[in-house]
Amino acid sequence: HYPAAFMAAVLSADMDHTDKIASFIMECRNMRINILPPDINQSAYEFRMTDTQSIRYGLGAIKGIGKAAIDYIEEERESGGQYVSLDDFCNRMDLKKANKRAMETLVRSGAMDVLDPDHNRARLLHDLPRCMHAAEQTQRDQEAGQSDMFGTLQPVSTSNERELSKVDPWPELQRLEAEKNSLGLYLTGHPVKVHYRDIRNFSSSLLGKVHRQVPTDGKNRRGVHMTLGALVTPLVRRTARGYFIAIEDHSGRMDAFLSNEVYATYADLMVKDSIVVIEGNVAKDEFTGGYKITANHIMSLGDAKARYAKGIDIAVSGPDDSLCTSLAATFSPYRKGTSRVYLHYRNQRARVSLELGADWTVKPSEELIAALNELEAVKQAGFRY
């Protein structure tokens, strides 16, 4: 009757086991329970239900943050009110309980997003040493009973109106990787979701929706042939017949079974945190009650994009005398392919699309797309499916 309260208790009981936390969070999402990210102004040490459909992430589940530091954060918040800026937090925090590494982990986890108006973790991390240094100096002076030249101690400003450093936010994949390093899991996004605009063009289904295509009446034990894009997790179970490797995307998790022969062929691709595209048969796993894919062919995401691409779209910023020259030089290593190239230009009055001739066909690859996106006249380049 109280699923959010129950799952909060389950999560809190296993805070030291990241693999279990990740599994329970997937289960919460399947139950349509929202997992709110950690927040120094809202989180407790444990996971807490915030309403009937939401759970706030517990600070105690962040790697490398001691209980003494978390207790202090909560006690100071209750007595002095919510933290309003990075300066305010550093000045009020007992920095003997939270060293620089712990503070950096709080930033990377997203727990300190509330201290930046743009939730810019790169800027928070950039400003952290300065704020900590000023706060440490103030705390040392207070402990020594010293005063400044006017006879009073001037604490670090707690205003959030200080001039913000000009630091670009991290790209989404970098932000997610930093989040995973501090939480042990992807919480506010997923690398597969970042690439899903491409993956959806050749994937049969999200992992969490394969059940819609696989019959469960037992008539087709071999399963249904599918192509799935997923991230490789570190969970591996070896048997005499082969390997069971857990894969996941932003919708769910399942096992991929690789026979010994298949594993020997593709072991270099099945690396933790890499995104792969697996072709094989998906069937109900009678042992676990979930679903599994028996792999027969595996590709890297880059190779899959190139294999399934029908062409390359290039949006250009405008007429440029050097455009043809720079495109020809960029295409040179990728010539004699079969993929057509399409140029697109638009302004406030019109839009134009141009298919380049057969002499401009190329072999599509991630490297070519990256090289095109480096050109000054190119706004965006990508695969056409």
The pair of structure tokens assigned to 108 is: 């990377």
Q: Given a cut of 50, is residue 280 above it in pLDDT?
A: yes
At which of 302, 330, 363 does a domain end?
302
For residues 274 and 152, state if they share a domain. no
Domain-embedded: residue 190: no
For residues 76 and 114, state if they share a domain. yes
> Residue 112: exposed, middle, or buried by beta-carbon count in 10 A (0-12, 13-18, 19+)?
buried
For residues 12 and 115, state if they share a domain. yes
Domain-embedded: residue 44: yes
Supply φ then ψ for residue 132, to 5 degrees. -65, -40
DSSP 3-state of 85:
coil
The pLDDT value given to residue 143: 76
At which of 302, 329, 360 does a domain end?
302
For residues 30 and 147, state if they share a domain. yes
The pLDDT value given to residue 147: 53
Q: pLDDT digit string (tens) for 154-190?
A: 554 444 456 789 999 999 999 999 999 999 999 999 9
For residues 316 and 294, state if they share a domain. no
The pLDDT value given to residue 162: 64
As a whole-number percent, the residues of the chain with pLDDT over 90 amount to 82
Q: pLDDT digit string (tens) for 33-81?
A: 999 999 999 999 999 999 999 999 999 999 999 999 999 999 999 999 9
For residues 140 and 64, state if they share a domain. yes
For residues 216 and 171, state if they share a domain. no
Residue 151: CB atoms within 10 A of its CB come to 6
The pLDDT value given to residue 142: 78
Q: pLDDT digit string (tens) for 94-120?
A: 999 999 999 999 999 999 999 999 999
For residues 284 and 212, state if they share a domain. yes
Q: Given a cut of 90, is residue 152 above it in pLDDT?
A: no
Question: CA–CA distance from 275 to each of 229, 230, 249 (Å)?
Answer: 7, 6, 9
State the pTM of this model: 0.84
Q: Given a cut of 60, is residue 326 above it in pLDDT?
A: yes
User: Which H or E run contains 109?
Assistant: helix 100-109
Q: Report the pLDDT averaged over residues 263-271.
A: 97
Close Cβ partners of 283 (under 8 Å, ≥ 6 residues apart)? 214, 220, 221, 222, 223, 224, 291, 292, 294
As a whole-number percent, the residues of the chain with pLDDT over 70 amount to 95
| Count: domains in the chain | 3
For residues 224 and 283, state if they share a domain. yes
Domain-embedded: residue 342: yes
Q: Report the pLDDT averaged over residues 245-252.
A: 95
For residues 65 and 89, state if they share a domain. yes
The pair of structure tokens assigned to 64 is: 């490398």
Average pLDDT taken over every residue of the chain? 92
Domain-embedded: residue 124: yes
Domain-embedded: residue 189: no
Q: pLDDT digit string (tens) for 183-200?
A: 999 999 999 999 999 999
The pLDDT value given to residue 24: 94
Q: Given a cut of 50, is residue 245 above it in pLDDT?
A: yes
CATH code, domain with 235: 2.40.50.140
The pLDDT value given to residue 179: 97
Domain-embedded: residue 341: yes
Q: Given a cut of 90, is residue 250 above it in pLDDT?
A: yes
- Domain that includes residue 243, residue range: 196-302
Q: Given a cut of 80, is residue 348 above it in pLDDT?
A: yes
Token pair 């043809």 is found at 324
The pair of structure tokens assigned to 266 is: 């593709």
DSSP summary character for residue 307: H
At which of 302, 319, 339 does a domain end?
302
Token pair 């998790």 is found at 253
Q: pLDDT digit string (tens) for 215-237?
A: 876 666 788 999 999 999 998 99
Close Cβ partners of 344 (under 8 Å, ≥ 6 residues apart)? 313, 314, 315, 316, 351, 352, 353, 354
Domain-embedded: residue 72: yes
For residues 42 and 115, state if they share a domain. yes
The pLDDT value given to residue 87: 95
For residues 122 and 236, state if they share a domain. no
Domain-embedded: residue 158: yes
